[in-house]
């Protein structure tokens, strides 16, 4: 199989757009959930972006600089590579906490030179990403 076992898979789910959003990361070696956040009002793309940054930060903290991170979101991978969450979500009192988390994630990307590979999960070839919430 082309998928590396020493990896995290991340995914987000959102009911509506915007709506209640959550994200999680799964260890591909064990199948165990390693982190989860939400639900908060947001969008799927924001969740996908934050899930990747969360995985990167966890890897940094643990010294896992070669662990691969898989995401099925092309947009989120692009946003992470550019260091900016390009959301169009309106900033309101209801979304302010999420915008603070986004700012923290963008700052983390600016201040850390991570080297973890971030790879697009090929759903057509490999099936649903293991971190999928199974709500489709």
Reply yes or no on whether the pLDDT at 136 is more than 80: no
- This prediction has a pTM of 0.97
Residue-wise pLDDT for 18-59, tens only, equals 999 999 999 999 999 999 999 999 999 999 999 999 999 999
- Top CATH class of 7-126 equals alpha beta
Reply yes or no on whether the pLDDT at 134 is more than 90: no
Phi-psi region of 126 (alpha: psi -120 to 50; beta: other; left: phi over 0): alpha
CB 70 within 8 A of CB 129: yes
The residue extents of the domains of the chain are 7-126
């Amino acid at each position: 199989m082309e998928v590396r076992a020493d990896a995290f898979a991340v995914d987000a789910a959102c009911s509506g757009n915007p709506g209640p959003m959550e994200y999680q990361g799964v260890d591909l070696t064990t199948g165990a959930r390693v982190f989860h956040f939400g639900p908060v009002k947001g969008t799927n793309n924001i969740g996908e972006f934050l899930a990747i940054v969360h995985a990167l930060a966890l890897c940094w903290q643990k010294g896992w600089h070669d662990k691969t991170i898989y995401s099925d979101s092309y947009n989120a991978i692009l946003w992470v590579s550019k260091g900016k969450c390009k959301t169009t979500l309106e900033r309101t009192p209801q979304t302010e906490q999420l915008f603070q988390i986004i700012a923290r994630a963008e700052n983390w990307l600016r201040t850390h030179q991570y080297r973890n590979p971030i790879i697009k999960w090929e759903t057509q070839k490999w099936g649903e990403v293991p971190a999928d919430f199974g709500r489709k």
